[in-house]
Structure 1
Amino acid sequence: MTATDLVKRGLGFVVALVVILLLVGQLLGQPILLGYVATGSMEPTMDAGDGFVAVPSVVSGDVEEDDVVVFQARELHDGGLTTHRVVDETDDGYVTKGDANPFTDQDGGEPPVQEGQIVAEALQIRGTVVTIPHLGSAVMAIQGLAEQVYGTVAPIVGVTTTATSDGLGSMLVAVGVALLGFGTVFERLGPEHRETTRRRSRENVIAFWTALGLVLLVFVTFATAAMVVPSGTYEYGLVSTESPSDDPQVVAPGATAELTRTVDNAGYLPVVVVHEAESGGIATTPEWQTVGSRAGGETTVRLSAPEETGEYTRHLGEYRYLALFPPRVLVWLHGVHPLVAIAAVNGVIVGLSVALVLVIFGSGDIRFRTPGDHVALSTRLQRKLRKWLRD
């Protein structure tokens, strides 16, 4: 392989990675390593359409004044993601402001930003945000083109929904499947291509490390998704008033409300669920619990109202880990850092996967032969079983 080929493959990998990260970020509703600003509210730090390196809040650590954060707004942008700078920290939360704006978000009606609303921080080196010029412009152009194509094609195929993210995603998946099918048919039935170079790779042979890598990729990906996707920050509203009602979230000043939260586990492995307060005035009993396979559990959430009347918001973080360690060990690892607990669980999965591949396939390369129709599948399985027993 020449240096040019390596450069082309490397650029292709980078482009594919950027696209995947942006798509996953759109699906999850938060930037994954890459984000962008659509307006000029952060000029001159970031121009409209610039991209930036987004560090997830679970990794970035404590938020400090002068950090540029991505948070789920309540009033700004109709409650969408907003990228602004933290200019102050108060007892009620963070005060944020766009660098180009003459007033803070809170002066404009946005409530103080709570820890649980922050999903990422923009990477800064020596106080300067690391930007990727025009990345957002390119992404928005692609989205606009996709919406136009969707609007043209959807009525033809009988789709009546508007170009929402779900609709666009479904259309792109359908196009991808169609292209994959077309490529397969073209490869099978199209003109033959004569090989002019000699290949060193052997047909029907998969290298051991390739097979192991594929197994690990699948297992670790699904395990991480099972822990990360159900986790998140949950919001509870609380009204402190001199006229409390039967609603448990409408209480007298200084009172405490109790709610029951149901924790469901739809998976086939038990999980350890850790509840963590991500704002003031909220606590749970118990603070962590083990939920069995395809089962549910309950926890009591206590919301404390301040002495002042008004409407308040409380945030509760929920973290899930596959119960491959004793629960107290996982809770301790979570206390060090959530990523440490996830890494420990994935480490066990990697070890079990390696052992499974070694037991089933051994450490040699895996060869897939074509025995022909004269050898029944049951016969081949019996031969494989006798070989394992002999070994």
Structure 2
Amino acid sequence: MIPFNKPYLTGNETEYIEQSVKSGKISGDGIFTKKCHNYFEENLGFSKVLLTTSCTDALEMAALLIDIKPGDEVIMPSYTFVSTPNAFVLRGAKIIFVDSRNDHPGMDEDAIENLITNKTKAIIPVHYAGVACDMDKIMNLAHRYNLFVIEDAAQAIDSKYKGRQLGTIGHLAAFSFHETKNIISGEGGMLVINDERFIDRAEMIREKGTNRSAFFRGEVDKYSWVDIGSSFLPSDIIAAFLFAQLEQLNTIQSRRREIWNNYDQKLRNNLVFKEKIRLPNIPKYATNNAHMYYIVCSNKKDRQGLLKKLKDNGVLAVFHYLSLHKSTFYKDKYKGEALPLSDHYSDCLIRLPLYYDLGTEDQNKVINLILDFFYKNI
């Protein structure tokens, strides 16, 4: 079986984990957590970062930082992972879902303004497949209506918008290092803080609502409970694994882009797909971090048929999100309009295998199975 994903080891993960253990401190904010923080701030230009146990936790911290309260409204795409709305629903927010774009599964930026009310507190752009939303449009709306912007950059490491790293544009941002992402630590995430007013409180929320971090820096003579919070910081063992990955970021990204480009060139050169399938679109303002390669079938029947053909021939490809406004949990709460494009991607999108060790022979097998399916079903 050609898997959908296969975690990649750079070679230093276990060595760094051993170093962390021998340091005598494997709880949060150890030596490798600091190394990771320094890497992100010095190499990628993030203002302030805090590693978390997941992107979900980073989003929950963001919801706390902007003081989401019952009755607040938060605008985000319906075509996203459940962690995006969950962080805000936990604080009592009402989720206002926006449709996807016609040319990309990301949120339709032009549909946001009509959804803004006097209860709107924040916009949550999700950089689907690591491809940037139009952040100028979103930030202009945020400034005009005095809203917060929290970038869900779970898939967007090493991706840019008009030359700026994704995650550096909104007030806050959340990243994932789950094993399916480009850079991994098994589970893991990161909160990026671009607005200085949130830095001190973010540290407290991450440390169970205490000023423990300030205490260890010698800024206070004892630490105490000063705010709400939880245990959001990861073990230094997780950070040790992550740092080994970060050291090889350019190598990993180069290989992933090579695989992505091979899919794109060989599929795009077949004219049969003009009406049967759509391939990824990268807007001119965005870069491609090769997080995923997806195809969009013209209908659900073709999607199901192709998934079956791939599986029957030893290839695990997968569909992605189901529209959250139609989810079991939220469908009775959703009072908005139909979101046909989100539903279309839910019914028709397929993610193809893409991981560092995917060999050319295996990748060509995936490509040829797709070609064979559609040529036989013209």
TM over 0.5: no
Higher relative CO (Cα under 8 Å, sequence separation at least 6) belongs to 2
Bigger radius of gyration among the two: 1
Query: Normalising by structure 2, what TM-score?
Result: 0.20
